[in-house]
Each structure stands twice: as structure tokens, then as C-alpha cells.
Amino acid sequence: MKKGLNILCASTNRFPIRHSFLEEVLCRGLTGRGHRVTWMLQTDDLHPGFEQKTWLGCKVWLMPSRPHSSIANRLCNFLRKPIDLTRILQRIIELEGAPDVIQVRNDWLVACWALIVRRRYKSLVVFQYSFPIPQEHFEHARTARGLPALLHVIRGYLEWASLKFVMQHADHILPISNSM
């Protein structure tokens, strides 16, 4: 009997996810076919460390969640995310083994980390692009004033450059959007 794949999924959606494609295809569909699916997600509930849950037959690792009400907190969260990603990926690989496939939905930073994991463990990286995040930051920059506008411009350019890098290096790109 063929062994199922070890699949790591990451998304910008918040836990618990209420998205029919993610629920039916990436959770129920893959686990129903014998694959092991692990999710790496964020939540709006505040908690300082990593949390593990089960959802629709999948393991879910929740990233640390901190307040993001002020500009200082948002900047701190933006700078902490690479550290948190490194720690959670190390923990998942330590406990679950190296993933065969890493599927990332809309999160360019996680996709960059996935490319690093791919290099070390020969995992396939699938990037699903369904929302124009860099353009959203440029739109917010047009309506904001002062420091928030500057932060949106900086983040928009960082996300655009990283997105371009990910699109050039991922094994598969899934362009999925409502406008298609």
C-alpha cells in the first residue's frame, strides 16, 4: 500500500478557517485519501506561545498572537514573524518529520521560509496566490497619513519583491481569485 504524503499547509486565513475550498479539499479530501495534513495558522485570540489543536482531521499549529492595535505593536509583530516562523517550522519538522509538500496560501514570508525548507529537505513548494496583498498596501498608503502611510508603502514593496521571488522559485503556482 502506498504511503500518504506529509503535507504542511499555511494560509493568511485566521483559525478557525471558514473557507469551503480549504475545508473540503485541503482537509477532508487529503486526509480522507490517507495523507497527513498539518496547518500553520494565525488566530485573533491573544496567546504568547505556540498552540496545537485538531481541526477536521488535521493538526493545526497556531502562531503566537500579540496585540496589534497600535503602530508600535504592528511593527513589533511584523519584525517578530520571521523569528516565530523559524521556531514553529523547526518544531513541526522535529515532531512531524520533513514535509513532502508545503502548500502556502497568500503568505509570501511563509513561502520564502518554505523555499528554505525545500532546499534542505527536498520538499515541493506550492504557492496559491488568490489575493493581491501588495496592491492592498499601496491602496491603504494612498488613504493613510504620516507613519502608517509610510509603513504601508514599505510593506507593499517588501511584499511585491518577495512575491516576485516566490513566484520565480516555487515548484507550482496556483493563481486562484474571484476575478478569474
Helix axes of 133-143 and 146-169: crossing angle, nearest 10 degrees: 170
- In a 13 Å sphere around the CA of 2, the CA atoms on its Cβ side amount to 6
Within a domain: residue 149?
Answer: no
List of long-range contacts for 152-159, beta carbons under 8 Å, 24+ apart = 155/78, 159/108, 159/133, 159/134
Asked, for residue 37, whether it belongs to a domain, the answer is yes
- The CA-atom distances, in angstroms, between 116 and each of 15, 18, 89 are 25, 29, 11
CATH number of domain containing 35: 3.40.50.2000
Q: Quick one: pLDDT at residue 2?
A: 62
CA distance 96 to 138: 38
Domain hosting 69: range is 6-130+167-175
Task: Judge whether 77 lies within some domain.
Answer: yes
Is 84 domain-assigned?
yes
C-alpha of 134 from chain center? 15
User: Considering the domain boundaries, does residue 21 fall inside one?
Assistant: yes
Residue 147 is assigned to a structural domain of this protein = no
Residue 145 belongs to some domain of the structure: no
Provide the whole-model pTM.
0.81
Domain count, the chain: 1
Other residues' Cβ atoms within 10 Å of the Cβ of residue 43: 16
H-only helix segments in 51-145: 71-96, 108-121, 133-143
User: Could you report the per-residue pLDDT of 24-54, keeping only the tens digit for each?
Assistant: 888 889 999 999 999 998 887 777 778 889 8
Instruction: Please name the amino acid found at residue 110.
Output: V
Residue 10 resides in a domain: yes
Residues whose CB is less than 8 angstroms from the CB of residue 77 and which lie 6 or more positions away in sequence, other chains included: 66, 68
Reported as a single tens digit per residue, the pLDDT across 114-166 is 999 999 999 999 998 877 777 787 888 888 888 888 888 888 888 888 888 98
The DSSP string of 37-56 is EEEEEEESS-BSS-EEEEET
Question: pLDDT at residue 1 above 50?
Answer: no
Type and span of the H or E element at 151 = helix 146-169
